[in-house]
Amino acid sequence: MSPRASVLLFLATMLGVAGTLPAGAGQPGFSITPMAGYRIGGEFDERESGRGLDVDGDLAGSLVFNLEESTNRWYELVYSHQETSVEGPDVDLTLQYLHVGGMAAWPQKGFSTYLAAGLGATFFRARGAGSGSDTRPSFSVGLGLLVPVAERVSIRLESRAYLTLTGGDTEIFCRSGAEGGVCRLRYSGDLFTQIDAMAGLTFRF
């Protein structure tokens, strides 16, 4: 089955399940939101030349779980994944974020605005001319809209910034060479920053 067909089947299944639940089921409220969008940002330095190398903008996906804490307040767990590459050297890069935090919403006429924030970790994994992996602490802040389209289904639109604490000029993505360990890249500055724009469907149970 193609990825697109898998996503459509998943969304159809979630809609069907949400539609069969009685009003008020599963209190306190729980929701799940699959999201997809585009993420930009992030920079490394090339070890030999010192020149800055940008991470290519690319598609990204997230899965968000919310547990109601009180009216218009939720605990939140976010997992986000991106497959991209580093501009210049032959390095493919996988970026994953896992954050725990919360979300607060402010109802408007026909929609709600919200603010979300989380703390957790960033996992880097490189392939190609560079190899290896690294895990760093990170946090995120998101702003968005929730637009109800059914009793327990909403469209979620969000822009979120991910900020990873890198600790400066630490060398990463090392591989074995003829003269021992070879490190192609190092972090640029103390923050690795990415920003995305995403859309998804929130299914509440």
Tens of pLDDT, residues 152-201: 999 999 999 999 999 866 777 666 555 444 567 888 888 999 999 999 99
Residue with the larger pLDDT of the pair 50 and 65:
65
Give the containing element (helix H, strand E) for 177.
Answer: strand 171-177
Across-strand partners of 28? none
DSSP conformation class of 71: T
Give the containing element (helix H, strand E) for 166.
Answer: none
The mean-pLDDT minimum among 10-24, 51-65, 132-146, 152-166 falls in 10-24
* Token representation of residue 95: 């970026």
Structural domain count of the chain: 1
Give the domain CATH number at 112. 2.40.160.20
| pLDDT mean over 2-18 | 46
Asked if pLDDT for residue 44 goes beyond 60, the answer is: yes
What range does the domain containing 139 cover?
Answer: 3-204
Average predicted confidence (pLDDT) for the chain: 83
The CA distances from residue 132 to 62, 123, 173, 174, 182, in Å, are 23, 11, 5, 6, 11
Q: What pLDDT does residue 118 have? A: 97
Q: What pLDDT does residue 91 have? A: 83
CA–CA dist 10, 25 (Å, integer): 21
* Token representation of residue 51: 């020149």
* Cβ neighbours of residue 34 closer than 8 Å, sequence gap 6 or more: 7, 10, 11, 61, 62, 63, 200, 201
Tens of pLDDT, residues 85-122: 988 767 889 999 999 999 999 999 999 999 999 999 99
Nearest one of 63, 74, 59 to 10, comparing CA atoms: 63
Q: What pLDDT does residue 81 have? A: 98
Residue 156 · residue 33 · CB < 8 Å? yes
Percent above pLDDT 90 for the chain? 59
Q: What pLDDT does residue 18 have? A: 43
CA–CA dist 132, 58 (Å, integer): 21
What is the three-class DSSP state of 13? helix
Alpha helices in 39-176 (DSSP H): none
Q: How many CB atoms lie within 10 A of CB 133?
A: 12
